[in-house]
Chains A and B, each alone.
Chain A
């Protein structure tokens, strides 16, 4: 009985739903602050100390706005899309190792389950744009689908390179093999995979230079044009949690998980601390890339990914295979 209560607490509070949502909002604050500092301005400042509560204030404001469903929209799809997106995003965040080797959920083959959930999340965005039956939303949904078939292959291939080296499809075993078997984080052994993972993550999270489906100046917000009120709040929170999942997976696959020097006795706190530090480094790099470029056009983006990134991903696979054979 006690175990069930402990498990429920873990699921709900730490490192469960509340912890993940807080982390998502904190990452949004960090990203906005760094983005502003790169542009020589201040960023969020007033709400809370140094503007820390600004993303929470935005979330609450959106929850209280009027929720309009257009008459010609497909009601079922329009309402289901944000709910499914938020649910799947939170569930895939349960797999991330925060306090120890494994997350809350862990079983053999969970790498494939997490990748599958992230695929459905992208599909949900296209579905949302399609259900809104607005000209601009339809164009946004078409662009999401086109972008999806370009970045998904390098994303999965870079994860498979890691899987080949660590010989396991379970996230906890991948982290364990970095700590005990090799003693090195995989970013040293597979640097190309790390770079490709980051670039595909930029496209997956729809950040500049690949925020084509949601281009504000061209198609008025794309798939999110018709959303308002609670549904938009859920979508925005789901996007932030996607960032947590993407960065958390990168830390688990390439940077050795939440491991680092610890103080004995309160290991779980130190591991959480190292997890947050490493993911913040990743968020800093992503923010830097977001500030540095202009937005590409959809055909240029497809050309870049199919001409340069996918061949590099295959090259990395061959190198990883060669490394494993060399070790044998």
Chain B
């Protein structure tokens, strides 16, 4: 991120509050007329310190805290965290629990892609498609409410399995809902491919070539639309994905239109996965009892969130609370790609190109340090932060004690 601001050009700030952005992030665009010369992102507006909060709560409470990192992909955050903790505990979770987890994760992928279709249509001014896709998304939300009890923040997992079970009536309603949604997805694929105004706004915009995507570390449908065949469900299967037959969807147009096509085609794959899961689900218990103390060790878990590859690292020292939890969300990997994509585009294309990576800024935020006077930026490791905090408290001891006494 170079910061050489050329003073003669015009700078347009987008964010932190802007109708195009659903969450606060700041972009400084250096423009020449309507063309963008450079895009400089700045993050950290909605950093909540969740990784620090996980160190003060037990593992079960953490599973419910980590679910609230993001509203749209909440299920996959909880499932990945619980996966990481369960690989530290030696007992295997029952198979029925894994199948139910896959069911909820795929339903969440469907809901997230429909939401994205509506938001992207709204960014290009096509409110009708926005209303139609969100009306169809209500079918998925009702199914999720039937299975888990809530429309977002499902709370399905505990350490050792899942909490709820499904019966025949739920299976029947799910299959009927999936059939309706498949019809609608076919209609949207036709509309997106044929509607001239959508094609005029998305074809050829936000180009990210294959080499650029590899170099900048793009993940998820952003990378798959640049002809990179990366998907955690195929490369590193977790839960039951090594047994389920499905196809990896890629497109080779490198632009926003390719990302639309990839996401809509992934919907069809999700429908097939759900049908396979509901046919082949084994019977058995849905959870096992585990001790609240997790044995010492470190574990990682990866999964394919609707936006890309989600990565969790859990380290435990044998007590009730984790020592460190680290989360790396897919949008953080795509931000550099989007800063590259925006060079050379028009101002009118900023919303759709930025929405094309499906940004989830609340997942993504990080904290870093900026010294405005000396014009320096840096990031600290754990030991440096502890050293600095001890020095600060020594010099400001009297002041801190005064504040407590009040």
* Direct contact between the two chains A and B in their complex (CB within 8 A): yes
Binding site for B on A (CB under 8 A): 38-41, 135-136, 139, 208-209, 211-212, 215-221, 291-300
Binding site for A on B (CB under 8 A): 10, 12-13, 18-20, 34, 121-128, 131-132, 135, 195, 197-198, 200-201, 346-351
**B346 lies within 8 A of A294 (CB):** no
**A40 lies within 8 A of B131 (CB):** yes
A215 CB contacts on chain B under 8 angstroms? 125, 348
Q: A220-B18, A298-B348, A300-B200 are in contact. List 18 more A-B contacts (CB 8 A).
A: A39-B127, A41-B131, A136-B12, A208-B125, A208-B127, A212-B348, A216-B19, A217-B19, A217-B20, A218-B348, A220-B19, A293-B126, A293-B197, A295-B197, A297-B201, A297-B349, A298-B34, A299-B34
Partner of A38, one of B34, B128, B348, B351: B128
**A217 lies within 8 A of B122 (CB):** yes
**B128 lies within 8 A of A291 (CB):** yes
A299 CB contacts on chain B under 8 angstroms? 34, 346
**B123 lies within 8 A of A39 (CB):** no
**A294 lies within 8 A of B12 (CB):** no
**A295 lies within 8 A of B124 (CB):** yes
What are the nearest 3 A-B pairs in CB distance? Answer: A295-B125, A294-B126, A294-B197
**B125 lies within 8 A of A39 (CB):** no
**How far is B128's CA from A297's CA once the two chains are assembled, in angstroms?**
18
**How far is B199's CA from A300's CA once the two chains are assembled, in angstroms?**
12
B122 CB contacts on chain A under 8 angstroms? 217
**A39 lies within 8 A of B200 (CB):** no
Q: Which residue of B lies closest to A293 (CB)?
A: B197
Q: Which residue of A lies closest to B125 (CB)?
A: A295
Chain B interface helix/strand/loop/mixed = helix
**B125 lies within 8 A of A219 (CB):** no
A291 CB contacts on chain B under 8 angstroms? 127-128
Min Cβ gap B180→A in Å is: 15
Partner of B125, one of A139, A211, A220, A300: A211
**How far is B125's CA from A216's CA once the two chains are assembled, in angstroms?**
8
**B347 lies within 8 A of A217 (CB):** no
**B128 lies within 8 A of A296 (CB):** no
**B348 lies within 8 A of A294 (CB):** no
A295 CB contacts on chain B under 8 angstroms? 124-126, 197, 201
Min Cβ gap B279→A in Å is: 33
Partner of A294, one of B19, B20, B132, B195: B195
**How far is B202's CA from A273's CA once the two chains are assembled, in angstroms?**
45
A217-B125, A294-B124 known; A209 and B347 CB under 8 Å?
Answer: no
A293 CB contacts on chain B under 8 angstroms? 126, 197
A40 CB contacts on chain B under 8 angstroms? 131-132, 135
**How far is B18's CA from A299's CA once the two chains are assembled, in angstroms?**
23
B13 CB contacts on chain A under 8 angstroms? 135
19 contacts between A and B (CB under 8 A): A40-B132, A40-B135, A135-B13, A136-B12, A139-B12, A211-B125, A215-B348, A217-B19, A217-B122, A218-B348, A218-B351, A219-B347, A293-B197, A294-B198, A294-B200, A295-B126, A296-B200, A297-B348, A299-B346
Q: Which residue of A lies closest to B135 (CB)?
A: A40
A139 CB contacts on chain B under 8 angstroms? 12, 34, 347
Q: Which residue of A lies closest to B130 (CB)?
A: A39
**How far is B127's CA from A208's CA once the two chains are assembled, in angstroms?**
10
Q: Which residue of A lies closest to B31 (CB)?
A: A139
Q: Which residue of B lies closest to A38 (CB)?
A: B128
Min Cβ gap A155→B in Å is: 21
**A218 lies within 8 A of B347 (CB):** yes
A300 CB contacts on chain B under 8 angstroms? 200
Q: Which residue of A lies closest to B18 (CB)?
A: A220
A217 CB contacts on chain B under 8 angstroms? 19-20, 122-123, 125, 351
A296 CB contacts on chain B under 8 angstroms? 197, 200-201
**How far is B197's CA from A296's CA once the two chains are assembled, in angstroms?**
7
Partner of A297, one of B121, B135, B198, B200: B200
